Amino acid sequence: MVTGMVDIDPDRLRAAFDDYSAIGATDDDGLHRLTLSADDQRVRDEFVSDLEDLGVSVRVDPVGNVFGRREGTDADAAPVLVGSHLDSQPYGGRYDGQLGVLAALETLRALDDHDVETTRPVEIVDWTNEEGSRFKPALMGSGVYAGAHDLDTVLETTDDQGTTVAEALEEIGYRGDEPVGPTERPDSYLELHVEQGPFLEEHGNAVGVVDGILGMAWLEVTITGDSDHAGPTPMHTRSDALVAAADVVTAVRRLSTRLGDDVVTTVGELSVEPDSINVIPSEVTFTVDLRSYDDATVDEGVAAVEAELAAACEREGVDYSLEKIWQIPHTEFSPGVRDAVEDAASEADRSFERMVGGAGHDASYVNDVTDAGMVFVPSVDGKTHNEAEFTEWEDVVAGVEVFANATRRLAERDE
Amino acid sequence: MVTGMVDIDPDRLRAAFDDYSAIGATDDDGLHRLTLSADDQRVRDEFVSDLEDLGVSVRVDPVGNVFGRREGTDADAAPVLVGSHLDSQPYGGRYDGQLGVLAALETLRALDDHDVETTRPVEIVDWTNEEGSRFKPALMGSGVYAGAHDLDTVLETTDDQGTTVAEALEEIGYRGDEPVGPTERPDSYLELHVEQGPFLEEHGNAVGVVDGILGMAWLEVTITGDSDHAGPTPMHTRSDALVAAADVVTAVRRLSTRLGDDVVTTVGELSVEPDSINVIPSEVTFTVDLRSYDDATVDEGVAAVEAELAAACEREGVDYSLEKIWQIPHTEFSPGVRDAVEDAASEADRSFERMVGGAGHDASYVNDVTDAGMVFVPSVDGKTHNEAEFTEWEDVVAGVEVFANATRRLAERDE
């Protein structure tokens, strides 16, 4: 049962945020802390030291996920798992991931401050390689934990220098020997994260209560035309791969107006061959990223992209191939976890809204093995994955307060 | 005065074509003979040896242009200059450039066969680095000859490995010490080249009589938007540099329908930053190649590209910069040289048409210092700058026959 709010300590939270942000700090107030790097080792060491100061027992699994367990009063109760990730994008921001781990750490500290004993254990976690910048795929640690990725395959994955995940884990001393995955199914999982979009700021709300994560498909398209000389080749005999690709880029941009409001479509990568100023492009390769909360709409979008591609290539007299390189259904988080967050936000008198997340998160994988949920805090201008990523400190405090009290509520809930 | 046709020897021409094509041959019947490479040295050595066998005097200038002079009967008459270039594109074709040098060589040989004494000397030339693939700019040797490029600047130009033109010339033994440029103004210049376009083949004509070369402008455009996350960033807050660039690619393609039939417009290079599948492109850089025989139309085209660019960027809420990196006016070849080619084609009963060239040629620079002209032979499917470049042998023979007799006509013409 829940009795009264747990107060967090904003000054202590700020001090921790500044300490952690100094590890891998960039000149422009960002964070460059690639997974399993020397800076990742330093921040993990600080994290483990902070956990040991709290007297929680620390364990590390074979993919480097770090867990710390604060016991509850019921020895048989399944734990509440809370956390996020400490790795960053290349020259990324200080809020993405790190803030979720520090919210969980402050929660444990606040529980200690007030001598709160929870029924369930509360476990904190730092997931390895959420970002996927150095080693692919992203969400590596939580994916292995949830059984979505094969451990041995992941350990053999290499970065651009040919270093394997296994070697990098050994190098920084975080190749643990605890069992992989949930040896006991957690009761629930909660993660705080920056929204990475503009809605909370636009609507003036402090906290986002996350219903789920958009489903998505990634496409790779290659268009093949003829590389003729830009001078003597008249317009009517050309088969220009880039002209056809430009049509598709425009069509992809417009798709959301046909498919629905929550659909987002992006061409993020595009390259041209032979890429010479006076040669008509013979080959263009590009990607399409297509997301919606409705999985059928994602399928409809994929079909629409292929139809637009076929029409553009027919017009230009060029060929194409289309490959769906990845697709995941939407994630629907647990109503029980969502209720705990809403109740905590109401009790704390923080304005909140229900929303869906557009980016992938560790919580999506963890949702496969237990009831998961997320708390979003506002991102100024929706900026993320770069050094300009910023959240107003008062929004951080509000979010962590809601997170801590939602965690406490989960730690008291019945089986 | 001209008395009767000079017959060329098609078998000898074929043998020379096959011999020269073996130097730098690719597995797919193409030619990979970059300027000032070891293969360029070998083909130059063969060329010089062939000239010495003809008893013509050979000289090499400081940028490696090779000249051979067959004397005329009038010691005071200015020479007729004929030739092209022996360097190729990377994995290019066997006809581009080489065929023009071999047409000139066969012309000298045919004159010898028939003991023809011309009034004017006939000089043959192999221009250094027409292609501009290894060292920039293209048309290097003829540009230095015509005074368009500064010799010292050109000699210091480096390739991707940091080798200078001067070093490469020394390495292959072709850094000559003859004076730079025309010490005596030639009477005229004639160059045979493959059309590199489809018109002769489409119209079923054997020979193109070239009125001139299109004027052209090269533009470099950078569009700058915001690199937000492809998932949580809603469509309405995006500033996607690639979406704006796609609009411009489409507009550039359509420009010719507004500006005129002879206008060709191409976006050949395009690159995207950060070029990541789930990140909205923040920067796109691309080039525009715009050509017309009417210089005012080129200017109008540049203005139209900027207007389309401004409109596309306004729609998308992104910024742009546009730089004109190169512009040259159209080349109008000499009516006298053109008449000589037409007369030779009529006499040989070869079908011909007047046309303009779309690609740059050494003849454009030489036209600055004397009366220049060109003969085109058909390109199958208009293919060029790749190994599939091909001209039917009967078209080669027809073209070289017209070329040889036009050269003889020029060598007899009055001051």
Indicate yes or no: CB of B383 within 8 angstroms of CB of A228. Answer: yes
**Average pLDDT estimate for A71-90:** 95
Q: Find, in chain A, the residue whose alpha carbon is nearest to that of B361.
A: A231
Mean pLDDT of the residues in chain A? 95
**Contact flag B278-A267 (C-beta cutoff 8 Å):** no
Minimum Cα–Cα distance from B275: chain A residue: A269
Collapsed DSSP state (helix, strand, coil) of residue A155: helix
| Strand bridging mode A188-194 / A80-84 | parallel
pLDDT of residue A1: 47
pLDDT > 70: what percent of chain A?
99
CA–CA distance, B282 with B223 (Å, rounded to integer): 8
- What CA–CA distance (Å, rounded) separates A301 from B62? 62
| Tens digits of residue pLDDT in A378-392 | 999 998 888 999 999
ipTM of the complex: 0.89
Closest in B231, B358, B383 to A291, CB measured = B231
pLDDT for residue A153? 97
Of B195, B216, B249, which is closest to A243 when you measure between CB atoms?
A: B249
Going by the DSSP 8-state scheme, the letter that residue A383 receives in this structure is -
Mutate to test the interface with B, among A194, A203, A242, A275 (most CBs of B within 10 A): A242
CA distance B245 to B252: 10
pLDDT tens for residues A217-249? 999 999 999 988 999 999 999 999 999 999 999
Closest CB from A227, A231, A242 relative to B359: A231
Give A268's contacts in chain B (Cβ within 8 Å).
Answer: 230, 272, 275-281
Nearest-angstrom CA–CA distance, B66 and B59? 6
Distance, in angstroms, between A383 CA and closest chain B CA? Answer: 6
- DSSP alpha helices (H): ranges in A22-97? 38-53
Q: Which residues of B touch A250 (CB under 8 A)?
A: 243, 246-247, 250
Residues of chain B with confidence (pLDDT) below 70: 1-3, 415
pLDDT tens, A107-161? Answer: 999 999 999 999 999 999 999 999 998 998 999 999 999 999 999 999 999 998 9
Q: pLDDT digit string (tens) for A31-55?
A: 999 999 999 999 999 999 999 999 9
Beta-carbon separation of A232 and B357 below 8 A: yes
**Contacts A–B by Cβ distance under 8 A:** 196
Distance between A37 CA and the closest CA of chain B, angstroms: 22
CA-wise closest residue to A98 among A87, A108, A109: A87
CA dihedral (A35, A94, A213, A395) in degrees, to 10, reads 160
| pLDDT at residue A72 in the model | 96
pLDDT in the model for residue A292 = 97
Q: Which of B197, B247, B270 sits opposite A272 (nearest CB)?
A: B270
* Alpha-carbon distance B375 to nearest alpha carbon in chain A (angstroms): 14
pLDDT at residue number B3: 58
Q: Which residue is it, tokens 């009529």?
A: B346
Q: How far is A192 from chain B (nearest CA, A)?
A: 15
* Nearest CA-CA distance, residue A7 and chain B, Å: 31
Q: What is the DSSP string of B69-99?
A: EE--S-TTSPPEEEEE-----TTB-SSTTHH
pLDDT at A261 over 90: no
> Which of A 218-257 lie inside 8 A of B, CB atoms?
218, 227-235, 237, 240, 242-243, 245-247, 249-250, 253, 256
Which 268-297 residues of chain B touch chain A by CB within 8 A?
Answer: 268-272, 275-281, 287, 289, 291
Comparing C-alpha atoms, which of B43, B394, B361 is closest to residue B190? B361
* Structural domains present in chain A: 10-213+330-412 (3.40.630.10), 215-328 (3.30.70.360)
3-state SS, A342-376, equals: HHHHHHCCCCEEEEEECCCCHHHHHCCCCEEEEEE
β-pairing, A66-70 with B66-70?
unpaired
Residue A214 to residue B229, Cβ atoms within 8 A? no
What is the Cα gyration radius of chain B? Answer: 23
pLDDT of residue B415: 60
Q: How does pLDDT run across A146-188, given as a tens digit for each residue? A: 999 999 999 999 998 999 999 999 999 999 999 998 888 999 9
> B232: which chain A residues are within 8 Å (Cβ-Cβ)?
195-197, 357-359, 382, 384
pLDDT at B362: 97
Q: Could you say which of A267, A272, A275 has the minimum Cβ distance to residue B242?
A: A267
Q: Do B231 and A243 touch (CB under 8 A)?
A: no
Judging contacts by C-beta atoms under 8 Å, the chain B residues touching residue A359 are: 229, 231-232, 278
CA distance B148 to chain A (A): 21
What residues of A are in contact with residue B230 (Cβ under 8 Å)?
A: 264, 266, 268, 289, 291, 358
